[in-house]
Amino acid sequence: MTDMELYGLRASDFGAGFTWGVATASYQIEGAWNVDGKGPSIWDTFTHRRRWPLPTVRSGENGDVACDFYHRYRDDVTLSWSLGFGAKRFSISWPRVLPMGVGRVNAAGLDFYSRVVDACLENGLDPWITLYHWDLPQALQDRGGWANRDIVGWFSDYARVVAERLGDRVKRWMVFNEPLSFCAGGYLIGAGAPGIFSRQKFLASVHHVNLCQAAAAKVLRDKVANAVVGTTHVTAPVKATGDSARHLRAQRSLDALLNRVYIEPNLGLGYPTNDCGLLRPIERYILSDDERAIQVDFDFIGAQYYTRVSAPPLPIPLVGTLPRRDQDFRRYEINVLGNTTQPEGIYEALERLHSYKRFPSIVVTENGTSVPDDLEGDRVYDVRRIDYYRRHLAQVLRAKGDGMPIDGYFCWSLLDNFEWAEGYVPRFGLVYVDYATQKRVVKDSGYWFKQFLSV
């Protein structure tokens, strides 16, 4: 590709120490859902049941096979390296390591992740591990899941098991992937596993997850020499739909619900209950020592950005986050999930995190889009995805130039994969996956990154 096709962007503009990587998640790519001693996860349960009158997943599909990464990991890791990336972010499946969530360790599961780590290192890729990317052991959900305070101990024990096995080679760790998505999505609006509609369980899960942030970070630092520990949050700038007092209150309320409730308690700032009435009963779950136990100084924070959200002055603030299914994704600025491309929003998201003045390093741990990809021979002409990336990268570079400590960027995702309750229709990958044959085809966006990373 010519320099013009790179739109004047070069990876070298971001600095020599900047991390460039691709991200994946265990349930979305691994498959092998019931082999080698793995226990069932809440997503195995969720995708195998129907919720009248519709299936829990739009397409009626599941992640039983997904991208078969469990058997193809060596080739996929090598593929990450071949595109020029220097880091590979992946998550650990808790029930693959601890089938019942606690107790007996499944050696075969730990061995698999050890092999993935070794494959990364052999290919010159720095492994970045996410401890939890939504696939809770079903055995623990049967005991209340994230709504049960005992999960603080369960999760700490799980973190210890993984850290003791992989910490000799892995130094970069993320505790959670997007607490908003699995707390609100799983326990409040039932859109994802475990499919529960409960304000009380949602609030309990939020508080317990925040306690786990600090508890797991302590375990990782205790067990891993020179550990670099962070966590990730979906960062969704909230825009008011008007300038009246009602509109501004709605904006504050939705911002508290989507963003602040997952960040500020760990910084010792408490819960933003004054700005969001839905959050006020969370106080019933806070015990006397929690204010101290919940605080944690992360080495970095992971920012995950896809789009802004609007905050109309409606009784239910979460309504503002829902994508509009009536939007036509064939329009250039609308992706397959109905989200509007708004590259300036990633700058706003990074600026908001930086405003806390508590994060020495900010890493974009997910950013990407799903557009209608068509395989034509052995090529995917995904010019819309290339344009999405170059416009967002320009905003990341702008943030870095304005003095924000932006130290890395991970594409979502390396591969097309199982997109949770949306099934296999949305494709986010730099690499096209033919699910019938498991054939991989690098898209034009993948080749664009290879060229971008070389200059």
Torsion angle defined by CA atoms of residues 297, 300, 304 and 307, in that order, rounded to the nearest 10 degrees: 80
Taking the alpha carbons of 449, 452, 453, 454 in that order, is the dihedral positive or negative? positive
* Contact (Cβ atoms closer than 8 angstroms) between residue 265 and residue 210: yes
304 Cβ contact partners less than 8 Å away, ≥ 6 residues apart: 177, 178, 232, 233, 234, 235, 364, 365, 366, 367, 412
Give the C-alpha separation, 94 to 146, whole Å.
14
Q: Which whole number is the average pLDDT over 285-309? A: 97
| Whether pLDDT at 42 is above 50 | yes
Whole-number pLDDT of residue 52: 57
Is the bond leading into 93 cis (omega within 30 degrees of zero)?
no
Residues 420-453: tens digit of each pLDDT: 999 999 999 999 999 999 999 999 999 999 999 9
Is the model's pLDDT at 329 over the cut of 90?
no
Q: Is the pLDDT of residue 347 over 90?
A: yes
The predicted-structure confidence for 111-154, as pLDDT tens digits, reads as follows 999 999 999 999 999 999 999 999 999 999 999 999 999 999 99
Residues 6+ apart with CB under 8 A from 298: 217, 229, 230, 231, 266, 359
* Torsion on CA atoms 204, 34, 160, 196, rounded to nearest 10: 0
Per-residue pLDDT at 164 exceeds 90: yes
Q: Is the pLDDT of residue 314 over 60?
A: yes
What are the domain boundaries of the chain? 4-452
CATH C-level class of 4-452 = alpha beta
Q: State the pLDDT at residue 313.
A: 83
DSSP 297: -
Retrieve residue 422's tokens: 């949306």
Whether pLDDT at 55 is above 90: no
Listed residue (337, 346, 363) closest to 427, CA to CA: 337
The confidence score (pLDDT) of residue 4 equals 41
This prediction's pTM? 0.95
User: What does the pLDDT average to over 238-249?
Assistant: 94
Pair 95, 50: CB distance under 8 Å: no
Q: Name the residues annotated as catalytic.
A: 178, 366
Cβ–Cβ < 8 Å for 194, 142: no
Mean pLDDT of 378-396: 97
Q: Is the pLDDT of residue 320 over 50?
A: no
Q: Is 423 exposed, middle or buried (0-12, 13-18, 19+ CB in 10 A)?
A: middle
pLDDT surpassing 80 at residue 345? yes
pLDDT of residue 328: 56
Beta strands 406-412 and 362-367: pairing type?
A: parallel
Question: In this predicted structure, what is the pLDDT of residue 333?
Answer: 86
- The answer to whether 39 and 99 have CB atoms below 8 angstroms apart is yes
Instruction: Tell me the C-alpha distance between 217 and 160, whole Å.
Output: 10
